Amino acid sequence: MVKEGAAEGSSTSIQGQRDDIGETPLILATKSGCVEIAKEILKVYPQAIEHVDDEGRNILHVAIKYRQLDIFEYVKKMEVPMKRLVRKIDNNGNTILHTVALKRKILAEKVEGPALLLQEELLWFERVQEITPSHFMYHQNNMKLPADEFFNTVNSELRSAGKEWLKSTAEGCSVVAVLIATVAFAAAYTVPGGNQSSTGLPVLLNQPLFVVFTVTDVLSLNFALTAVVTFLSILSSPSRFEDFKQSLPSKLMLGFTFLFLSVAIDDDVVWSNNLPYDSHQGKLD
Protein backbone atom coordinates (compact mmCIF):
# COMPACT_ATOMS: atom_id res chain seq x y z
CA MET A 1 0.00 0.00 0.00
CA VAL A 2 2.86 2.34 0.81
CA LYS A 3 4.58 1.48 -2.47
CA GLU A 4 1.40 2.09 -4.47
CA GLY A 5 0.93 5.48 -2.82
CA ALA A 6 4.46 6.52 -3.69
CA ALA A 7 4.09 5.26 -7.27
CA GLU A 8 0.91 7.25 -7.78
CA GLY A 9 2.53 10.46 -6.58
CA SER A 10 0.73 10.45 -3.27
CA SER A 11 3.84 10.00 -1.14
CA THR A 12 3.22 13.38 0.50
CA SER A 13 1.51 11.68 3.41
CA ILE A 14 4.45 9.34 3.77
CA GLN A 15 6.96 12.16 3.66
CA GLY A 16 5.53 14.07 6.57
CA GLN A 17 1.92 15.17 6.27
CA ARG A 18 0.54 15.28 9.81
CA ASP A 19 -2.86 14.22 11.04
CA ASP A 20 -5.12 16.22 13.34
CA ILE A 21 -2.99 15.42 16.38
CA GLY A 22 0.29 16.35 14.71
CA GLU A 23 1.64 12.87 14.01
CA THR A 24 3.09 11.60 10.74
CA PRO A 25 2.30 8.11 9.37
CA LEU A 26 5.64 6.80 10.63
CA ILE A 27 5.02 8.08 14.15
CA LEU A 28 1.48 6.65 14.10
CA ALA A 29 2.72 3.27 12.84
CA THR A 30 5.36 3.18 15.56
CA LYS A 31 2.89 4.19 18.26
CA SER A 32 0.41 1.51 17.15
CA GLY A 33 3.05 -1.20 16.80
CA CYS A 34 2.52 -1.65 13.05
CA VAL A 35 6.02 -2.99 12.45
CA GLU A 36 5.66 -3.87 8.76
CA ILE A 37 4.15 -0.48 7.90
CA ALA A 38 6.91 1.36 9.75
CA LYS A 39 9.57 -0.69 7.96
CA GLU A 40 7.95 -0.11 4.57
CA ILE A 41 7.76 3.65 5.15
CA LEU A 42 11.45 3.76 6.03
CA LYS A 43 12.28 1.61 3.01
CA VAL A 44 10.35 3.83 0.57
CA TYR A 45 11.25 7.12 2.25
CA PRO A 46 14.36 6.79 4.47
CA GLN A 47 14.26 10.49 5.36
CA ALA A 48 11.13 9.79 7.41
CA ILE A 49 13.44 8.59 10.16
CA GLU A 50 13.88 12.27 11.07
CA HIS A 51 10.16 12.85 11.69
CA VAL A 52 9.11 14.13 15.10
CA ASP A 53 5.69 14.65 16.65
CA ASP A 54 4.35 17.86 18.19
CA GLU A 55 6.21 17.02 21.42
CA GLY A 56 9.52 16.87 19.58
CA ARG A 57 9.82 13.09 19.92
CA ASN A 58 11.34 11.03 17.13
CA ILE A 59 10.67 7.41 16.23
CA LEU A 60 13.05 6.20 18.93
CA HIS A 61 11.28 8.19 21.65
CA VAL A 62 7.90 6.85 20.53
CA ALA A 63 9.08 3.23 20.25
CA ILE A 64 10.48 3.43 23.78
CA LYS A 65 7.42 5.10 25.27
CA TYR A 66 5.01 2.59 23.75
CA ARG A 67 7.32 -0.40 24.35
CA GLN A 68 7.54 -1.35 20.68
CA LEU A 69 10.57 -3.62 20.96
CA ASP A 70 10.59 -4.81 17.33
CA ILE A 71 10.67 -1.27 15.96
CA PHE A 72 13.22 -0.26 18.59
CA GLU A 73 15.55 -3.09 17.55
CA TYR A 74 15.01 -2.34 13.84
CA VAL A 75 15.91 1.33 14.23
CA LYS A 76 18.87 0.47 16.45
CA LYS A 77 20.47 -1.37 13.52
CA MET A 78 20.46 1.84 11.44
CA GLU A 79 23.88 3.05 12.57
CA VAL A 80 24.05 6.44 10.82
CA PRO A 81 20.58 7.76 11.82
CA MET A 82 21.03 6.33 15.32
CA LYS A 83 23.88 8.74 16.00
CA ARG A 84 21.39 11.60 15.67
CA LEU A 85 18.31 9.89 17.10
CA VAL A 86 19.92 8.99 20.44
CA ARG A 87 20.90 12.65 20.96
CA LYS A 88 17.45 14.05 20.30
CA ILE A 89 15.82 15.87 23.23
CA ASP A 90 12.07 16.50 23.16
CA ASN A 91 10.23 19.71 24.00
CA ASN A 92 10.18 18.80 27.70
CA GLY A 93 13.92 18.31 27.86
CA ASN A 94 13.66 14.53 27.94
CA THR A 95 16.32 12.30 26.41
CA ILE A 96 15.48 8.82 25.15
CA LEU A 97 16.44 7.54 28.62
CA HIS A 98 13.98 9.92 30.28
CA THR A 99 11.33 8.57 27.91
CA VAL A 100 11.50 5.13 29.53
CA ALA A 101 9.58 6.60 32.48
CA LEU A 102 6.96 8.11 30.15
CA LYS A 103 5.35 4.74 29.50
CA ARG A 104 1.78 4.37 28.34
CA LYS A 105 -0.84 3.23 30.82
CA ILE A 106 -0.67 -0.45 31.72
CA LEU A 107 -3.13 -2.40 29.61
CA ALA A 108 -5.97 -4.30 31.26
CA GLU A 109 -4.71 -7.62 29.90
CA LYS A 110 -1.46 -7.22 31.83
CA VAL A 111 -1.83 -9.74 34.62
CA GLU A 112 1.69 -9.72 36.08
CA GLY A 113 2.17 -8.62 39.63
CA PRO A 114 3.51 -5.10 40.19
CA ALA A 115 6.95 -6.47 41.10
CA LEU A 116 7.23 -8.19 37.71
CA LEU A 117 5.93 -5.08 35.94
CA LEU A 118 8.63 -3.03 37.64
CA GLN A 119 11.19 -5.59 36.54
CA GLU A 120 10.07 -5.07 32.93
CA GLU A 121 10.46 -1.31 33.32
CA LEU A 122 13.95 -1.70 34.79
CA LEU A 123 14.98 -3.99 31.95
CA TRP A 124 13.72 -1.40 29.46
CA PHE A 125 15.73 1.28 31.26
CA GLU A 126 18.83 -0.90 31.04
CA ARG A 127 18.19 -1.63 27.35
CA VAL A 128 17.90 2.06 26.48
CA GLN A 129 20.81 2.99 28.72
CA GLU A 130 23.09 0.83 26.56
CA ILE A 131 22.55 3.07 23.53
CA THR A 132 22.43 6.40 25.37
CA PRO A 133 25.59 8.54 25.10
CA SER A 134 27.35 8.57 28.47
CA HIS A 135 27.21 12.36 28.90
CA PHE A 136 23.42 12.27 28.44
CA MET A 137 23.14 10.26 31.65
CA TYR A 138 23.49 13.49 33.63
CA HIS A 139 21.25 15.61 31.42
CA GLN A 140 18.37 17.17 33.36
CA ASN A 141 14.93 17.63 31.84
CA ASN A 142 12.62 20.59 32.44
CA MET A 143 11.85 19.16 35.89
CA LYS A 144 15.56 19.43 36.76
CA LEU A 145 15.88 15.66 37.05
CA PRO A 146 18.40 13.34 35.38
CA ALA A 147 17.01 10.20 33.77
CA ASP A 148 17.59 7.82 36.68
CA GLU A 149 16.00 10.13 39.26
CA PHE A 150 13.11 10.85 36.91
CA PHE A 151 12.54 7.11 36.45
CA ASN A 152 12.61 6.49 40.21
CA THR A 153 10.18 9.35 40.87
CA VAL A 154 7.66 8.19 38.27
CA ASN A 155 7.83 4.55 39.40
CA SER A 156 7.84 5.13 43.16
CA GLU A 157 4.21 4.00 43.53
CA LEU A 158 4.85 0.89 41.43
CA ARG A 159 7.82 0.08 43.65
CA SER A 160 5.67 0.39 46.79
CA ALA A 161 2.96 -1.79 45.24
CA GLY A 162 5.57 -4.32 44.19
CA LYS A 163 6.98 -4.45 47.70
CA GLU A 164 3.56 -5.14 49.22
CA TRP A 165 2.73 -7.70 46.53
CA LEU A 166 5.96 -9.59 47.13
CA LYS A 167 5.37 -9.53 50.88
CA SER A 168 1.83 -10.92 50.66
CA THR A 169 2.84 -13.51 48.06
CA ALA A 170 5.85 -14.69 50.07
CA GLU A 171 3.81 -14.91 53.28
CA GLY A 172 1.03 -16.90 51.63
CA CYS A 173 3.41 -19.30 49.91
CA SER A 174 5.38 -19.76 53.13
CA VAL A 175 2.23 -20.97 54.89
CA VAL A 176 1.59 -23.51 52.12
CA ALA A 177 5.21 -24.70 52.19
CA VAL A 178 5.11 -25.14 55.98
CA LEU A 179 1.93 -27.23 55.71
CA ILE A 180 3.54 -29.47 53.08
CA ALA A 181 6.65 -29.84 55.23
CA THR A 182 4.44 -30.81 58.17
CA VAL A 183 2.68 -33.49 56.12
CA ALA A 184 5.99 -34.86 54.83
CA PHE A 185 7.50 -34.88 58.32
CA ALA A 186 4.47 -36.67 59.78
CA ALA A 187 4.54 -39.24 56.96
CA ALA A 188 8.08 -40.19 57.92
CA TYR A 189 6.79 -41.46 61.30
CA THR A 190 3.75 -43.25 59.89
CA VAL A 191 5.33 -45.53 57.30
CA PRO A 192 2.96 -47.63 55.17
CA GLY A 193 2.37 -51.09 56.61
CA GLY A 194 3.58 -50.13 60.07
CA ASN A 195 6.53 -51.65 61.92
CA GLN A 196 7.34 -55.22 62.90
CA SER A 197 6.63 -55.82 66.60
CA SER A 198 9.75 -57.91 67.10
CA THR A 199 12.38 -55.74 65.40
CA GLY A 200 10.68 -52.37 65.04
CA LEU A 201 11.67 -52.25 61.36
CA PRO A 202 9.11 -51.28 58.70
CA VAL A 203 7.07 -54.24 57.48
CA LEU A 204 7.57 -53.19 53.85
CA LEU A 205 11.26 -52.43 54.22
CA ASN A 206 12.31 -54.76 51.39
CA GLN A 207 9.61 -53.68 48.98
CA PRO A 208 10.68 -51.50 46.01
CA LEU A 209 7.79 -49.08 46.46
CA PHE A 210 8.81 -48.52 50.07
CA VAL A 211 12.02 -47.03 48.70
CA VAL A 212 9.87 -44.79 46.50
CA PHE A 213 7.96 -43.66 49.57
CA THR A 214 11.14 -42.92 51.52
CA VAL A 215 12.86 -41.00 48.73
CA THR A 216 9.81 -38.94 47.78
CA ASP A 217 9.07 -38.11 51.41
CA VAL A 218 12.61 -36.85 52.00
CA LEU A 219 12.60 -34.85 48.77
CA SER A 220 9.21 -33.31 49.51
CA LEU A 221 10.33 -32.30 52.99
CA ASN A 222 13.59 -30.79 51.73
CA PHE A 223 11.96 -28.89 48.87
CA ALA A 224 9.25 -27.53 51.17
CA LEU A 225 11.76 -26.35 53.76
CA THR A 226 13.93 -24.79 51.04
CA ALA A 227 10.85 -22.97 49.72
CA VAL A 228 10.14 -21.64 53.21
CA VAL A 229 13.69 -20.33 53.55
CA THR A 230 13.53 -18.75 50.08
CA PHE A 231 10.26 -16.95 50.78
CA LEU A 232 11.53 -15.78 54.17
CA SER A 233 14.62 -14.37 52.45
CA ILE A 234 12.30 -12.27 50.26
CA LEU A 235 10.64 -10.83 53.35
CA SER A 236 14.02 -9.86 54.80
CA SER A 237 15.54 -8.54 51.55
CA PRO A 238 15.86 -4.82 50.76
CA SER A 239 13.44 -3.47 48.16
CA ARG A 240 15.54 -0.97 46.26
CA PHE A 241 14.88 -0.40 42.57
CA GLU A 242 17.92 -2.45 41.55
CA ASP A 243 16.68 -5.37 43.67
CA PHE A 244 13.53 -5.60 41.55
CA LYS A 245 15.56 -6.06 38.38
CA GLN A 246 17.05 -9.43 39.23
CA SER A 247 17.38 -10.36 42.89
CA LEU A 248 13.77 -10.32 44.13
CA PRO A 249 12.12 -11.82 41.00
CA SER A 250 14.76 -14.58 40.92
CA LYS A 251 14.11 -15.44 44.56
CA LEU A 252 10.37 -15.48 43.89
CA MET A 253 10.72 -17.82 40.90
CA LEU A 254 13.09 -20.05 42.89
CA GLY A 255 10.62 -20.21 45.76
CA PHE A 256 7.77 -21.08 43.38
CA THR A 257 9.89 -23.82 41.81
CA PHE A 258 10.69 -25.48 45.14
CA LEU A 259 7.07 -25.12 46.26
CA PHE A 260 5.68 -26.73 43.10
CA LEU A 261 8.23 -29.55 43.32
CA SER A 262 7.30 -30.23 46.94
CA VAL A 263 3.59 -30.32 46.05
CA ALA A 264 4.18 -32.66 43.11
CA ILE A 265 6.40 -35.02 45.09
CA ASP A 266 4.05 -34.93 48.08
CA ASP A 267 1.39 -36.46 45.83
CA ASP A 268 3.70 -39.44 45.32
CA VAL A 269 4.17 -39.69 49.09
CA VAL A 270 0.40 -39.86 49.62
CA TRP A 271 0.04 -42.37 46.79
CA SER A 272 2.75 -44.72 48.08
CA ASN A 273 1.50 -44.37 51.65
CA ASN A 274 -1.92 -45.70 50.64
CA LEU A 275 -0.82 -48.74 48.69
CA PRO A 276 -2.66 -51.98 49.61
CA TYR A 277 -0.54 -54.64 51.26
CA ASP A 278 -0.76 -58.02 52.94
CA SER A 279 -0.11 -57.42 56.62
CA HIS A 280 0.74 -61.10 57.20
CA GLN A 281 3.17 -61.51 54.34
CA GLY A 282 4.47 -57.99 54.39
CA LYS A 283 3.95 -57.75 50.65
CA LEU A 284 2.00 -55.43 48.42
CA ASP A 285 -1.24 -56.81 47.04
CB 165 within 8 A of CB 239: no
Q: Indicate the helix (H) or strand (E) that contains 254.
A: helix 247-273
- The answer for residues whose C-beta is within 8 angstroms of residue 64's C-beta and 6 or more apart is 72, 96, 99, 100, 124, 128
CB 143 within 8 A of CB 102: no
- CATH number for the region 2-154 comes to 1.25.40.20
User: Helices 156-188 and 147-154 sit at what angle, rounded to 10 degrees?
Assistant: 60
Q: d(Cα 170, Cα 161) in Å, to the nearest integer?
A: 14
Per-residue pLDDT of 109-148, as tens digits, reads 455 789 999 999 999 999 999 999 999 999 999 999 999 9
Among 42, 47, 37, 45, CA closest to 6: 45
Q: Indicate the helix (H) or strand (E) that contains 283.
A: strand 283-284
103 or 54, higher pLDDT: 54
- The answer for residues whose C-beta is within 8 angstroms of residue 195's C-beta and 6 or more apart is 201, 202, 203
CB 27 within 8 A of CB 56: no
Q: d(Cα 128, Cα 61) in Å, to the nearest integer?
A: 10
Q: Residue 16: what pLDDT?
A: 53
**Percent of the chain scored above 90 by pLDDT?**
64
Q: d(Cα 226, Cα 223) in Å, to the nearest integer?
A: 5
Q: Residue 12: what pLDDT?
A: 47
Q: Residue 80: what pLDDT?
A: 87
Q: d(Cα 226, Cα 195) in Å, to the nearest integer?
A: 30
Looking at residue 136, the DSSP 8-state letter turns out to be: G
Domains in the chain: boundaries = 2-154, 163-284
Per-residue pLDDT of 264-284, as tens digits, reads 887 655 555 555 544 444 444
Per-residue pLDDT of 153-175, as tens digits, reads 999 999 999 999 999 999 999 99
Per-residue pLDDT of 74-119, as tens digits, reads 999 998 899 999 999 999 999 999 999 987 665 544 557 899 999 9
Per-residue pLDDT of 178-237, as tens digits, reads 999 998 888 777 765 555 556 556 655 566 666 777 788 888 899 999 999 999 999 999
**Percent of the chain scored above 70 by pLDDT?**
75
Per-residue pLDDT of 3-23, as tens digits, reads 444 444 444 445 555 554 568
